Amino acid sequence: MLQIIKSLSILCIVSLLVATICNHFFALSFQGVFILCAVVQLALGWFFNTYIQYKSTSQWTQQQTELITQLEQEATMAPCAYCGTENLIPVSPTQDNDFECVNCGEHNAVYVNITVAQKTVPLDVEPYSVSNHNTSLGNQSSTKQADKE
């Protein structure tokens, strides 16, 4: 309420000032200039407000998109240590990755384990192909089981 009164006061003061100056120096109608100035200020205020709203909305959307993209790149599914429910958690190497389970609400600590392995290079040879299907191995084991029984 106070904000509306303040805005209307500023609008009236500016309109009064412009109308007085135009009336005094250019002999224009005081009421006409006052109304015109008030309407122009209202229109400019509406455009400015709409622009700020649009800008903040698009900025918020962009931030959300960046956050989701970052989350998709750095997040992983991990089971809760208490109830075993899978949780989507962000994993960062620079900070604690503790999380609260979405199912039971318990706090879980996350330990990141780094494993190293040798890189392998595929050989440039023909892939193996099966030329003989020897099914006697499977039959031998089944016959041994039959002998025990």
* Under 8 Å between Cβ of 118 and 111: no
Of the pair 32, 84, the CB lying nearest Zn ion is at: 84
N-term to C-term CA, the chain: 93
Which of 1-9, 36-44, 55-63, 104-112 is the region at the interface with Zn ion (rule: CB under 5 A)?
104-112
Give every CB contact of residue 130 below 8 A, 6+ residues apart in sequence.
Answer: none
| Total of chain residues touching Zn ion, rule CB under 5 A | 7
Q: Which two tokens stand for residue 42?
A: 């209202």
Among 69, 83, 86, 142, which residue sits at the site for Zn ion (rule: CB under 5 A)?
Answer: 83
Paired tokens of 57? 């909305």
81 makes contact with Zn ion (CB under 5 A):
no
- Which of 49, 103, 140, 142 touches Zn ion by CB under 5 A? 103
- The closest alpha carbon to 99, from 69, 72, 79, belongs to 79
- Between 30 and 82, CB nearer to Zn ion: 82
The contact set with Zn ion (CB under 5 A) reads 80, 82-83, 85, 101, 103-104
